[in-house]
C-alpha cells in the first residue's frame, strides 16, 4: 500500500511549489541525465546526436537544449515497435500505444519507476482540481491501449477515490451508473460528456446526478464549451493535457483558477517554436509545443514536436504553484485547415458555435472544392426548444451563425442547420472535420 507523506491539504507533492530557481536547476540536472541516457542506450539518438555534432557533455546550461535535433512522429515510425526503448524488454512492465489512426501506432513503454512517476503526476493533477478520497470517480475513457484509461484510473486510485472503470460507450449504462452510484467526478472527452448529458435528459435522470468535478481532454475545446459543460452538469470543468509519447495524461492540467494549464517542469522541459521554421519563440508568442520528458527510463524522447499549438502564459498563479502555465491548446498544426489561403482551426468554429444559444452541442465541418475554389460548410444541430420551426426563424439563425463565423474566421462559410441527433456522436475524440477535397 502506498501512503502519501503529509505535506499540505492544498498540494499533492511539495515539488508543486518549488522555487523557480530550484526548479530550473533540477530541470538542467535531469536534462543532462536524459540526454546521456538516450545517447548511451538508444542507437537512433546516438546517431542523430553525432550527426548534429552534439555530445551529452555539451549540455552545460538549459539553453543548450537548442543544439539537440527534434524528434517527430517519423522517428517513432522508423523505429517501430521497440527501437526507441532505452532499457531491455525485461525491464518493461507495461506497453501503451497511440491511437494509430494513420499508419503504425507510436509504441510507448514503462519501467516500474516510470509508472510510479506517471501515477503521481496524474494524482497531482486530479488533487489540484479538488478530487479527494471521498469522491466517486467515473472514468469514461478507453481502457485498452489508450493511455487515458489506466493512466487516469491509477491517478484517481492513488488519491484514494472510489474509481468506476466505466470505459467508453454504452452511454445509457454510463448514465445509470452516475445516478445509482452517486458519481461526483468524471473524466472523458468534452464532446462525449455533452452526449452523456443528452442521454441523461432522455432518461429523465439529469436532475439526479451528484457531479461536482469534470476533467476533460484529448481534444481541443473552447471556453464557451466549458460554460456549456458547467451549466449542463452543475460542475466545474477542467482542461487536461497529455500525450502518449510523454506518458499520457498528467503532462498539464488546470488548477481551480481555471486560467491556463500548469505544465510540470520537474518532469518536462518546455519549449515553444515556430512550426514553420523550428526557431524558438518568446513567452507569450503562439507556436508549437515541444516537450522533452526528463525522468523517463524506458522511452527517453528528446525535443518532441507535439504538433499542438499554444503559448506560455507569463502570469503567476494565485494557487501558489510555481510551474509555468500554457494556454489551453488552440489546435494542432496538422489539424489546421487552409481554405482560400486562410488558416482555420476547428476549435475556432467551436468557440463561435458554443456561444450561440439556439445552436446544439454537435457540429461537423465539411470541406469541398468547387472548381478551383474551396468551400467550407458547417453542419450544426439546432436545439429543439429554442426555435419555433418556422422557416423565417431558421433563416435568421442561419444568417446569425454565418455572420459570427465570418467575424471569427475572416471568410464566408456555408451553414447547414440540421435536427438534433443528425450528427454522429463520438465515444472518444470527436471527428469534427470531413475534408472531401482529395476525393473530388
* pLDDT tens figures, 291-341: 999 999 999 999 999 999 999 998 899 999 999 999 999 877 767 777 766
Contact indicator for 434, 364 with CB cutoff of 8 Å: yes
Q: Residue 5 above 60 pLDDT?
A: no
Question: Cis ω on the peptide bond leading into residue 81 (within 30° of 0)?
Answer: yes
Going by pLDDT thresholds of 50, 70 and 90, the confidence category of residue 3 is very low
Once rounded to an integer, what is the mean pLDDT over residues 162-166? 97
* CA separation for the pair 263, 249 (Å, rounded): 11
Q: Residue 387 above 70 pLDDT?
A: no
Once rounded to an integer, what is the mean pLDDT over residues 404-413? 87
Kind plus residue range of the DSSP H or E element containing 33: helix 20-41
CA angle 98, 100, 103 (to 5 degrees): 140
Comparing CA positions, the residue from 129, 401, 324, 369 lying closest to residue 240 is 129
Comparing CA positions, the residue from 77, 75, 55 lying closest to residue 64 is 55
Contact indicator for 217, 239 with CB cutoff of 8 Å: yes
Q: What are phi and psi of 272, to 5 degrees?
A: -120, 125
* CA separation for the pair 410, 37 (Å, rounded): 48
* 16 grid coordinates: 508543486
CA end-to-end span of the chain? 59
Task: Name the more confident of 321 and 365.
Answer: 321
- Residue 46's SS3 state is helix
CATH number for the domain formed by residue range(s) 1-334: 3.40.50.12780
Q: Residue 429 above 90 pLDDT?
A: no
* CA separation for the pair 354, 223 (Å, rounded): 9
Q: Residue 10 above 80 pLDDT?
A: yes
Going by pLDDT thresholds of 50, 70 and 90, the confidence category of residue 436 is confident
How high is the pLDDT of residue 22?
97
Q: Residue 372 above 70 pLDDT?
A: no
Q: Residue 231 above 90 pLDDT?
A: yes
Contact indicator for 305, 290 with CB cutoff of 8 Å: yes
| Percent residues over pLDDT 90 in the chain | 70
CB within 8 Å of 209: residues ≥ 6 apart: 178, 179, 183, 200, 233
How high is the pLDDT of residue 176?
97
* CA separation for the pair 262, 226 (Å, rounded): 18
Q: Tell me: domain 337-439, CATH 3.40.50.620, correct? A: no
Domain ranges of the chain: 1-334, 337-439
Comparing CA positions, the residue from 178, 161, 291 lying closest to residue 233 is 178
Q: Residue 385 above 50 pLDDT?
A: yes
Average confidence score pLDDT of the chain: 91
Once rounded to an integer, what is the mean pLDDT over residues 21-32? 97
Q: Residue 13 above 90 pLDDT?
A: yes
The strand pairing partners of 381, in sequence order, are: 418
Residue 71 is given by DSSP the state B
- Residue 381's SS3 state is strand
Radius of gyration of the chain, Cα coordinates, nearest whole angstrom: 22
Going by pLDDT thresholds of 50, 70 and 90, the confidence category of residue 440 is very low
* CA separation for the pair 411, 403 (Å, rounded): 10
Q: Residue 151 above 60 pLDDT?
A: yes
How high is the pLDDT of residue 341?
67
* 219 grid coordinates: 481534444
CB within 8 Å of 106: residues ≥ 6 apart: 73, 76, 77, 97, 98, 100, 244, 245
Query: Against a cut of 0.75, is the pTM above it?
Result: yes
Going by pLDDT thresholds of 50, 70 and 90, the confidence category of residue 4 is very low
* 94 grid coordinates: 507495461
- Residue 238's SS3 state is strand
Once rounded to an integer, what is the mean pLDDT over residues 23-32? 98
Q: Residue 1 above 50 pLDDT?
A: no
Q: Which residue has cell 500500500? A: 1
Once rounded to an integer, what is the mean pLDDT over residues 175-198? 95
Least confident of 98-102, 317-321, 367-371: 98-102
Amino acid at each position: 500500500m502506498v501512503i502519501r507523506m503529509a505535506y499540505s491539504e492544498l498540494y499533492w507533492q511539495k515539488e508543486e511549489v518549488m522555487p523557480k530557481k530550484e526548479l530550473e536547476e533540477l530541470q538542467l540536472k535531469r536534462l543532462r541525465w536524459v540526454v546521456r541516457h538516450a545517447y548511451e542506450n538508444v542507437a537512433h539518438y546516438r546517431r542523430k546526436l553525432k550527426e548534429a555534432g552534439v555530445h551529452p557533455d555539451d549540455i552545460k546550461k538549459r539553453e543548450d537544449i537548442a543544439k539537440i535535433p527534434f524528434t517527430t512522429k517519423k522517428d517513432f515510425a522508423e523505429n517501430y515497435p521497440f527501437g526507441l526503448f532505452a532499457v531491455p524488454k525485461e525491464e518493461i512492465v507495461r506497453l501503451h500505444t497511440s491511437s494509430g489512426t494513420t499508419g503504425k501506432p507510436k509504441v510507448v513503454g514503462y519501467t516500474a519507476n516510470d509508472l510510479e512517476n506517471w501515477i503521481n503526476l496524474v494524482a497531482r493533477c486530479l488533487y489540484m482540481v479538488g478530487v479527494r478520497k471521498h469522491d466517486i470517480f467515473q472514468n469514461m475513457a478507453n481502457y485498452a491501449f489508450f493511455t487515458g484509461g489506466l493512466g487516469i484510473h491509477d491517478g484517481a486510485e492513488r488519491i484514494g477515490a472510489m474509481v468506476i472503470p466505466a470505459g467508453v460507450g454504452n452511454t445509457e449504462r454510463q448514465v445509470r451508473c452516475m445516478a445509482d452510484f452517486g458519481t461526483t467526478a468524471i473524466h472523458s472527452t468534452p464532446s462525449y460528456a455533452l452526449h452523456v448529458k443528452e442521454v441523461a435528459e432522455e432518461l429523465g435522470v439529469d436532475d439526479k446526478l451528484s457531479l461536482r468535478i469534470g476533467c476533460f481532454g484529448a481534444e481541443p475545446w473552447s471556453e464557451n464549451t466549458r460554460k456549456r459543460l458547467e451549466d449542463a452538469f452543475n460542475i466545474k470543468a477542467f482542461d487536461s493535457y497529455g500525450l502518449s509519447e510523454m506518458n499520457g495524461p498528467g503532462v498539464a492540467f488546470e488548477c481551480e483558477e481555471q486560467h491556463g494549464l500548469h505544465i510540470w517542469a520537474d518532469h518536462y522541459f518546455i519549449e515553444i517554436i515556430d512550426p514553420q521554421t523550428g526557431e524558438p519563440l518568446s513567452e507569450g508568442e503562439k507556436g508549437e509545443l515541444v516537450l522533452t520528458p526528463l525522468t523517463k527510463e524506458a522511452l527517453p524522447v528528446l525535443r518532441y514536436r507535439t504538433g499542438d499549438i499554444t503559448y506560455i502564459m507569463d502570469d503567476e498563479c494565485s494557487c501558489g504553484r510555481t510551474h509555468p502555465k500554457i494556454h489551453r491548446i488552440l489546435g494542432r498544426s496538422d489539424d489546421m485547415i487552409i481554405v482560400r489561403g486562410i488558416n482555420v482551426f476547428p476549435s475556432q468554429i467551436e468557440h463561435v458555435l458554443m456561444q450561440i444559444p439556439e445552436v446544439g452541442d454537435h457540429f461537423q465541418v465539411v470541406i469541398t472544392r468547387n472548381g478551383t475554389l474551396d468551400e467550407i460548410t458547417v453542419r450544426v444541430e439546432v436545439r429543439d426548444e429554442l426555435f419555433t420551426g418556422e422557416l423565417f426563424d431558421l433563416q435568421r439563425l442561419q444568417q446569425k451563425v454565418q455572420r459570427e463565423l465570418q467575424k471569427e474566421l475572416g471568410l464566408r462559410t456555408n451553414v447547414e442547420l440540421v435536427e438534433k441527433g443528425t450528427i454522429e456522436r463520438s465515444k472518444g475524440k470527436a471527428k469534427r472535420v470531413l475534408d472531401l477535397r482529395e476525393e473530388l
